[in-house]
Amino acid sequence: MEKLVIEGGHALKGEVRVSGSKNAALPVLAATLLTDDECVLRNIPRLRDTMTMVKLLRSLGKTIDIGKDSVTVSKGPSNHVAEYKLVSTMRGSFCVLGPLLAKLGKAKVSLPGGCVIGIRPVDLHIKGIKALGAKIDFDSGYVVASAHRLKGNHMYLGGGFGSSVLATANVMMAATLADGETIIESAACEPEIEDLANFLMAMGAKIKGKGTPQIAVQGVKKLHGANFRISSDRIEAGTFILLAAALRSNITIRETNFMHLLALLDKLEEAGMRFEKEYNLIRLKCSRHLKPTSITTFPYPGFPTDLQAQFMALMAMTPGVSVITDKVYPDRFIHIAELNRMGASIRREGSNAIVEGVKTLHGAPVMASDLRASSALIIAGLAAKGKTEIHRIYHLERGYENLDEKLATMGAKIYREKE
């Protein structure tokens, strides 16, 4: 096992290219279960999570060849059981439920795992699949679904904290091979859902309303193979933006769509940052003095919960008081204790974090509790005085492709050591 060692206080310079989107790649890989034909997927990030999905697809009977610039998936699924040992490590793998059921008429999928950021039930997935006419049972930690033929339906898929990206993906994939039309109300609007819809349409699916709260899917009898490029990772891009802000560095971020980051950019402009935005790049112009700014996370197009921890790290070193509220995962605050170990002054009150910004953080040994907390600690460590050691960095490898290497090329003093 390795740890990250960071020597803080070194500004970033130059430019960085954003990798493909993890949260788009996982459901797109799962969607290949809907066809026996060959699918070629480009810009798939090489991550622990994407490789877990590759292992899961292989266990379900798919043939996968990983090339330098693409992943080729072929053959139809021959096994309908998604085993606990794979699904339990990554919540995103639960989205094989819909395509397996649609293609084989049955699916047995372990209840999911992933980062420990609060309760994330699968009730909306089950509600949507049931609405398509499937029979659902639970057996020893597995969801068991069956249907001779799925039937389109009009359903409401909103939950207590808004729409669900994975539930929308699961139902949308299942609906592509159902009889008749399916209309999903309160569908997730995230760019990752648009990516999935575009891939399904490239396979021959009939979908309207992608990127809106109402998605209509007209079922077809068969889907074919497709050649598709995954879009860039907006969360990785947002993380680099927040890194630059924390280090008061002017850098260029390439291969990103600024339209996917408007909620973040708006808040950072409020704090005093300036940007030059073009079609696929963002140039950052950082002020030496930022103002504290409060945020509330919401489903897209609101402020992303996946950037909450990183934003908190920035506000922890921005003098003044800010309030951070998470309306998506109200318990996603495990990183507070680790930031406080570095000298931050943050206290939790329910689903709110009250951040009293300090002038300087100080390096310390800290523990990564989840994927996004890992990058928040990197931000804090790079801006802090002294040396920071981050343990349990396997969380980081689930969602960031070579993040430490990218940072090192821009001047950061960051390297790996054996524990």
What integer is the mean pLDDT of 363-389? 97
For the stretch 24-54, pLDDT in tens is 999 999 999 999 999 999 999 999 999 999 9
Kindly report the average pLDDT of the chain as a whole number: 95
**Nearest C-alpha neighbor of 308 from the set 329, 287, 292, 286:** 329
Which of helix, strand or coil describes residue 195? helix
pLDDT at 20: 97
d(CA 243, CA 366): 18
Domains of the chain with CATH codes: 2-19+232-418 (3.65.10.10), 22-229 (3.65.10.10)
d(CA 381, CA 368): 12
pLDDT of 116 higher than 60: no
- Positions annotated as catalytic residues are 115
d(CA 195, CA 369): 29
**Between the CA of residue 113 and those of 89, 117, 279, what are the distances in Å?**
5, 11, 36
For the stretch 180-230, pLDDT in tens is 999 999 999 999 999 999 999 999 999 999 999 999 999 999 999 999 999
Q: For residues 247 and 202, is the Cβ–Cβ distance under 8 A?
A: no
pLDDT of 120 higher than 60: no
pLDDT at 113: 60
d(CA 352, CA 364): 25
* DSSP designation for 155: E
Sign of CA dihedral 259, 264, 267, 268: negative
Q: Is 138 exposed, middle or buried (CB count within 10 Å of its CB: 0-12, 13-18, 19+)?
A: exposed
pLDDT of 115 higher than 60: no
Tokens at 314, concatenated: 């920035």
pLDDT at 118: 47
**Between the CA of residue 185 and those of 99, 209, 214, 406, what are the distances in Å?**
20, 10, 5, 40
Alpha helices in 60-96 (DSSP H): 84-87
Q: What is the pTM of this model?
A: 0.95
* DSSP designation for 53: H
For the stretch 152-179, pLDDT in tens is 999 999 988 889 999 999 999 999 999 9
pLDDT at 74: 97
For the stretch 52-110, pLDDT in tens is 999 999 999 999 999 988 999 999 999 999 999 999 888 889 999 999 999 999 999 99
What integer is the mean pLDDT of 362-383? 96
Strands of 413-418's sheet in order across:
365-367, 387-391, 2-7, 413-418
For the stretch 229-257, pLDDT in tens is 999 999 999 999 999 999 999 999 999 99
